[in-house]
């Protein structure tokens, strides 16, 4: 991981999902690679007084499970679908990004919100709902360009003025987006979101557990059909494929943390319920572009 500049705008290039997590402190996160290829990520961040700005890009599909910082209010702008997602400290999200995903996010901490008299109770019902607005794409491009401009050594930074402007702009965009919400569509999204919340809680609390489809449906408290629909909406893949990729990522983590003199690829495969070593090796190679034995040689 590299840090190209020593200015307030920090920039990171990452080559593993674990590096991407370490580059964003303050967030509870789990990342898993979900499409083939060598992972490559970029992150730029800027810390102001009570406000943090992030711009993140990922080349492969990545499962993200995260919780926002305590006491915070976060505006996440998806630069692919041009949707706004509002998060508070209780928002726990599980979804899978598309390939070549980009987003910008503005995080306001609790003290900043209190100084500006923002009542979080007025925002109930808006968290984790995709909000569309004509200003989303324009604001995302402006914020990305602002980070580029501020990274230049000869660019003065008026932090307080920028923080105030960001709050005003984000609330303006949110107000416009709320006017587009449709009642039935919002209700369906909330139901699917609740299903994925339960799946995400299980994935976070039991990272090494393996389940079959009926077991996962039982965890979510829904039928297999409802589980399929929720996964289609939030991950873009069927739950069976998600479970298989999740196990492959678990195996990769174990291989990277193991000594090749003390553990074998077959033992790791069995631990993650891959009973056919040949099929495991081929699936692993297709996803991570290397054989499990090559990963094991990189280990501790």
Does the structure show a pLDDT above 50 at 55? yes
Structural contact between residues 69 and 82, judged by C-beta atoms closer than 8 angstroms: no
Does the structure show a pLDDT above 50 at 18? yes
The domain boundary, picked from 162, 181, 200, lies at 181
**145 and 14: one domain?**
yes
Does the structure show a pLDDT above 50 at 133? yes
Question: For residue 104, what are its two tokens?
Answer: 């910008």
Measure the CA–CA gap between 190 and 126, rounded to whole angstroms: 10
User: What pLDDT score does 57 carry?
Assistant: 95
Percent of all residues in the chain with a pLDDT value above 70, rounded to a whole number: 92
User: What pLDDT score does 99 carry?
Assistant: 94
User: What pLDDT score does 7 carry?
Assistant: 43
Measure the CA–CA gap between 192 and 67, rounded to whole angstroms: 18
Average pLDDT, the chain: 86
Does the structure show a pLDDT above 90 at 281? yes
| Number of folded domains that form the chain | 2
The enclosing domain of 271 has a CATH number of 1.10.10.60
**Which of 230, 221, 215 is closest to 273 using CA atoms?**
215
| pLDDT category of residue 6 using cuts at 50, 70 and 90 | very low
| pLDDT category of residue 2 using cuts at 50, 70 and 90 | very low
The domain boundary, picked from 164, 181, 198, lies at 181
**80 and 219: one domain?**
no
Does the structure show a pLDDT above 80 at 222? yes
**70 and 34: one domain?**
yes
Mean pLDDT, residues 103-118: 92
The domain boundary, picked from 130, 157, 181, lies at 181
User: What pLDDT score does 185 carry?
Assistant: 58
In a domain, 119, yes or no: yes
**Which of 43, 129, 53 is closest to 91 using CA atoms?**
129
**19 and 168: one domain?**
yes
Q: Domain span at residue 268? A: 185-297
């Amino acid at each position: 991981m590299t840090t190209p500049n020593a200015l307030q705008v920090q920039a990171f290039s990452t080559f593993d999902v674990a590096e991407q997590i370490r580059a964003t402190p303050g967030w509870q996160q789990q990342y898993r690679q979900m499409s083939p290829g060598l992972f490559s990520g970029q992150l730029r961040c800027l810390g102001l007084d009570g406000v943090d700005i992030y711009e993140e890009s990922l080349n492969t599909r990545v499962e993200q499970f995260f919780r926002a910082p305590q006491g915070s209010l976060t505006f996440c702008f998806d630069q692919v679908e041009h949707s706004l997602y509002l998060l508070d400290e209780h928002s726990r999200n599980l979804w899978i990004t598309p390939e070549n995903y980009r987003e910008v996010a503005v995080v306001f901490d609790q003290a900043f919100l209190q100084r500006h008299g923002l009542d979080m109770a007025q925002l109930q019902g808006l968290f984790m709902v995709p909000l569309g607005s004509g200003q989303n794409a324009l604001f995302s491009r402006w914020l990305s360009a602002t980070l580029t401009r501020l990274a230049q050594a000869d660019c003065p930074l008026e932090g307080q003025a920028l923080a105030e402007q960001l709050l005003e702009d984000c609330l303006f965009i949110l107000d416009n987006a709320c006017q587009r919400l449709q009642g039935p569509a919002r209700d369906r999204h909330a139901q699917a979101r609740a299903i994925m919340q339960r799946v995400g809680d299980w994935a976070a609390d039991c990272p090494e557990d393996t389940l079959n489809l009926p077991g996962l449906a039982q965890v979510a408290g829904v039928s297999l059909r409802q589980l399929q629909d929720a996964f289609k909406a939030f991950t873009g893949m069927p739950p069976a494929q998600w479970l298989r990729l999740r196990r492959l990522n678990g195996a990769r983590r174990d291989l990277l943390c193991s000594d090749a003199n003390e553990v074998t690829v077959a033992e790791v495969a069995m631990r993650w319920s891959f009973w056919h070593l040949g099929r495991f090796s081929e699936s692993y190679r297709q996803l991570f572009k290397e054989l499990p034995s090559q990963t094991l040689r990189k280990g501790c």
